[in-house]
Amino acid sequence: MSVFLSSEPADARWGEKATLSTDAAGMTIHLKDGDALTAISRAARRIDGQGVKNVKLAGEGWSLENSWAFWQGFRGPKGTRNVEWAELSEDDANTLKQRLKIIDWVRNTINTPAEDLSPEQLATRAVDLMCEFGNEKVSYRITKGDDLRQQSYMGIHTVGRGSDRQPVLLALDYNPSGDGDAPVYACLVGKGITFDTGGYSLKPSASMDSMKADMGGAATLTGALALAAANGLNKRVKLYLCCADNMVSGNALKLGDIIRYRNGKTVEVMNTDAEGRLVLADGLIDASAQNPELIIDAATLTGAAKTALGNDYHALFSFDDALAGELLESAKAENEPFWRLPLEEFHRSHLPSNFAELNNIAGPAHTAGASTAAAFLSHFVTEYKKGWLHIDCSATYRKSAADQWSAGATGLGVRTVANLLLAKAK
């Protein structure tokens, strides 16, 4: 089936506002004033919904971004789809090929059932992707199971010890210079909870059925680093994936337990479903020790961010206004939706505990759940006021299809973070 683009309205028989029409030549997407990329994605979703799985992008107007917008809507989690792409310049064709490989890896990984993606499997998949695009520039270390406890990665170990599948920390070093003494330009820290029951603060089924996607932050940052590497990133970046299952068992984390971290912080656990911040803390401690210019963490961290923004935007938090502005500019350049939410110094005091320095959830008087979660993480970033960004990945996964998206992972955020890494490395 050939698919064309047109700036002309559809024939009247299709309706005054029709964006898709069909004739003997194929299907035509009718672009009106406004957001053409969104219109293309929505039309592609409709084409897929009609059972068309093999298409040719024909005629004029199929630029790189228009072609990518079509794939974003056309792609789905079930079955195969084939696209014969319109002719692009060599550079644009290469960029499209990179996106198809890397962002589809992100979407496929997030969509993988938890049964088929353990913490260790997530780490090894990330290594495989990075080795493909980083080649000899990549080295890594995987620490798992009781070795985490012995090396004082107490957040990851404590959250993951309730599962039969061992928790894992992946520490991956992308070092294009090959110099072991080269400074670390950036650190990326991803939440890799491969399934989240909520632990003893058990989730209801309606909230648990999508928790295979609770490793979306880890997948997104892995994809972002791979995409930046594929585009010639020439500075050293370290990637930390904090991977675990959050399960219920006789060995699982309990309410009232206290975790003692390597930076001296103690945390009382008053909600075992607020586990993502507990594992990220370990990665942020390691990231801070590298003294990088830039630390970015990403996590499907709070329902509060999704309540505020739905599935349509990633939530951004930072004390660094200039850096937050740079990320938002990168997001705009890459046509990806981010929205900044508040994070202030007073949020850091909203985590009171009677028995530890911090609580892992805010007190009942403080209801800004996404902001207090970000504030919790700031206690594990040495220079939290400068050079640190926290992304709460609200737009990572959709439980059901929408006008523009199939059900499942979206891959949003990969291009934005890659763009920022490349822009700041110049």
Residue 23 DSSP SS3: strand
CATH number, domain at 308?
3.40.630.10
Q: Which residues, at least 6 apart from 230, have a Cβ–Cβ distance to it below 8 Å?
A: 98, 102, 133
Domains contained in the chain, number: 2
Q: Are 191 and 301 in contact (CB under 8 A)?
A: yes
Residues 36 and 107 in one domain: no
Query: Judging by beta carbons within 10 Å of its beta carbon (0-12, 13-18, 19+), is residue 61 exposed, middle or buried?
Result: middle
Residues 377 and 310 in one domain: yes
Residues 309 and 161 in one domain: yes
Which residues belong to the active site?
203, 277
Structure tokens at 172: 């991956």
Residues 58 and 165 in one domain: no
In this prediction, residue 426 carries a pLDDT of 86
Residues 66 and 199 in one domain: no
Q: Are 255 and 270 in contact (CB under 8 A)?
A: yes
Residues 136 and 71 in one domain: no
Residues 80 and 107 in one domain: no
DSSP state of 297: E
Q: Are 227 and 98 in contact (CB under 8 A)?
A: yes
Residues 231 and 341 in one domain: yes
Q: Domain limits at 79?
A: 2-88
Distance (Å, whole) CA 398 – CA 405 = 8
Beta strand extents in 113-201 (DSSP E only): 138-144, 168-174, 184-196
Q: What is the pLDDT along the chain (426 residues), one digit of tens a residue?
A: 999 999 998 988 898 789 999 999 999 999 987 789 999 999 999 999 999 999 999 999 999 999 999 999 999 999 999 999 999 999 999 999 999 999 999 999 999 999 999 999 999 999 999 999 998 999 999 999 999 999 999 999 999 999 999 999 999 999 999 999 999 999 999 999 999 999 999 999 999 999 999 999 999 999 999 999 999 999 999 999 999 999 999 999 999 999 999 999 999 999 999 999 999 999 999 999 999 999 999 999 999 999 999 999 999 999 999 999 999 999 999 999 999 999 999 999 999 999 999 999 998 889 999 999 999 999 999 999 999 999 999 999 999 999 999 999 999 999 999 999 999 998
**Which of 58, 88, 118 is a domain's end point?**
88
Residue 383 lies in a domain: yes
**Which of 88, 121, 142 is a domain's end point?**
88
Flag whether the pTM goes above 0.85: yes
Q: Which residues, at least 6 apart from 222, have a Cβ–Cβ distance to it below 8 Å?
A: 106, 126, 129, 130, 190, 239, 241
Residue 95 lies in a domain: no
Residue 93 lies in a domain: no
Q: Are 301 and 190 in contact (CB under 8 A)?
A: no
Residue 24 lies in a domain: yes
In this prediction, residue 363 carries a pLDDT of 84
Residues 58 and 139 in one domain: no
Query: Judging by beta carbons within 10 Å of its beta carbon (0-12, 13-18, 19+), is residue 115 exposed, middle or buried?
Result: exposed
Q: Are 261 and 154 in contact (CB under 8 A)?
A: yes
Residue 289 lies in a domain: yes
Distance (Å, whole) CA 164 – CA 282 = 21
Residues 154 and 261 in one domain: yes
Residues 316 and 188 in one domain: yes
Residue 207 lies in a domain: yes
Residue with tokens 């992008």: 57
Q: Which residues, at least 6 apart from 407, have a Cβ–Cβ distance to it below 8 Å?
A: 76, 77, 398, 399, 400, 401
Residues 244 and 270 in one domain: yes
Q: Which residues, at least 6 apart from 48, have a Cβ–Cβ distance to it below 8 Å?
A: 73, 74, 75, 76, 81, 406
Residue 16 lies in a domain: yes
DSSP string, 147-163: HHHHTT-HHHHHHHTTS
Identify the bridge partners of residue 193 per DSSP, sorted by sequence position. 244
Residue 97 lies in a domain: no
